[in-house]
Amino acid sequence: MKNTVDGLTRKAREAAVKLAALPASVKNRALMAMARGLRTGGKEILAANVRDMSAARRAGITGALLDRLRLDSKRIREMARGLEEVAALPDPVGRVIRRWTRPNGLKIAKVRVPIGVIAIIYEARPNVTADCAGLCIKSGNSVILRGGSEAIRSNRAIFRRLDQAGRKAGLPAGAVQLVWDTDRRLVDLLLAQVGGVDLVIPRGGEGLIRQVVAKARVPVIKQYKGICHTFVDASADLKKAEEISFNAKVQRPGVCNAMETLLVHERIAPVFLPSMARRYVDAGVELRGDAVTRKILKGLPVKPATEKDWATEYLDLVLSVRVVPSLKEALDHIRRYGSNHSEAIVTRSKAHAAEFLKAVDAACVYVNASTRFTDGGQFGLGAEIGVSTDKLHARGPMGLEELTTYKYEVLGSGQVRA
């Protein structure tokens, strides 16, 4: 088993050296070929996904996890389009971040370079296979993909198409590799590959991420969970507030940028909450509210919110609701229960908007927009490799730049240090 992991990392390291020097034109050609491979292989991929879905249902998997696992023709087209969008983006490798000349004549340039070998550990989300492969290739990194056992058939089918197309278009062998075996011991060995793996990015639930962090001996960029809030301020445009709040919860509840708690200023709560709550209930959302919320919504099915609810990432059609007396109280609530992911305020007050932007410590902070926009594609980054709630070295949606580091190129003319 160790030989398997050693083989993967050795091939990845050899490929990374070649990828770092590969022209953007070759990488782009490969990405376009990989996109075509997904489109022409759609039937094969969907057939594999049907088998994964059947096995998942037999195993009792339901709800958000099952939705993440499911593929259809639209999602395959989106994967292919994501690769094409990444191909169309500027190549970050070799980009000069800053250039300057010292008094002694040394010319210094700070230049973007690939990280090297990246391992992606993810759960039942087969689209990650294509998204991460594309971003790593464009940023000059080799990638080792280890998806969840629930999606193994789908991941293998997607990988086969990517690998065949990419290599025919000029990618080196080992540029993209999939851990074929579902044995979890392989993950532990991969996480211990000091010198073989430069960075691990886990994508999945909080449990998976904490396991990876606990066992990894190589750097990890992580996103523990997405407890996202929307605060409807006293001065909010209530029509906009309703649309934003509904979208943030209902449009796709099983993802990390979905809202989990709605905070409403007490001044507008009696007007805003009744119609908002009825719309939620009609959409199948289970509401859990504080005492003030339940009093305003008397007659509607609202369960008492507990301390645990405020700290829970539901990833489902469940929403906590709290009425607060001020912006300060909303900010205090977000500081206490937020996960540094995405937070939003709906307001017509420029002063409150500015205070919210300055005071909230999160990867993405919104004014008058849904938290559902925290996404690499929505930010114009192409596909994303994840949303980091870390502060080093990347934060928020991770696109091409976040998959590079930098080096200093120093040009002299014989200078020596006195």
* Alpha helix ranges (H) inside 21-71: 24-40, 42-58, 63-69
Question: E strands of 6-152, at which residues?
Answer: 96-101, 107-114, 117-122, 142-146
What's the rounded Cα separation, in Å, for the pair 104 and 353? 47
Whether cis (ω within 30° of 0) applies to the bond prior to 393 is yes
Residue 270, both tokens: 């009696």
What's the rounded Cα separation, in Å, for the pair 337 and 66? 27
The crossing angle, in degrees rounded to 10, of helices 152-168 and 24-40 is: 130
Residue 127, both tokens: 């689209």
What's the rounded Cα separation, in Å, for the pair 124 and 281? 29
What's the rounded Cα separation, in Å, for the pair 299 and 251? 26
Contact 225, 261 (CB under 8 A): no
Nearest Cα neighbor of 384 from 139, 89, 82 is: 82
Strand order in the sheet with 117-122: 176-178, 142-146, 117-122, 199-203
The arrangement of secondary structure in 2-221+398-411, i.e. its CATH architecture, is: 3-Layer(aba) Sandwich (3.40)
Residue 281, both tokens: 């209930």
What's the rounded Cα separation, in Å, for the pair 52 and 8? 25
Q: Alpha carbon 304 to chain centroid distance? A: 32
Distant-in-sequence, close-in-space partners of 390: CB < 8 Å, separation ≥ 6: 221, 222, 223
Q: What's the CATH fold of domain 228-373?
A: Aldehyde Dehydrogenase; Chain A, domain 2 (3.40.309)
pTM: 0.90
Question: How would you class 403 by CB atoms within 10 Å of its CB: exposed for 0-12, middle for 13-18, buried for 19 or more?
Answer: buried
Determine the number of helices (DSSP H) and then strands (DSSP E) in the chain: 15, 16
Domain ranges across the chain: 2-221+398-411, 228-373
Question: E strands of 347-388, at which residues?
Answer: 364-367, 387-388
* Alpha helix ranges (H) inside 169-237: 185-191, 206-215
Which residue bears the tokens 């294509």?
Answer: 130
Distant-in-sequence, close-in-space partners of 60: CB < 8 Å, separation ≥ 6: none
Distant-in-sequence, close-in-space partners of 81: CB < 8 Å, separation ≥ 6: 35
Nearest Cα neighbor of 343 from 273, 285, 257, 267 is: 257
What's the rounded Cα separation, in Å, for the pair 202 and 163? 22
pLDDT < 70 regions, the chain: none
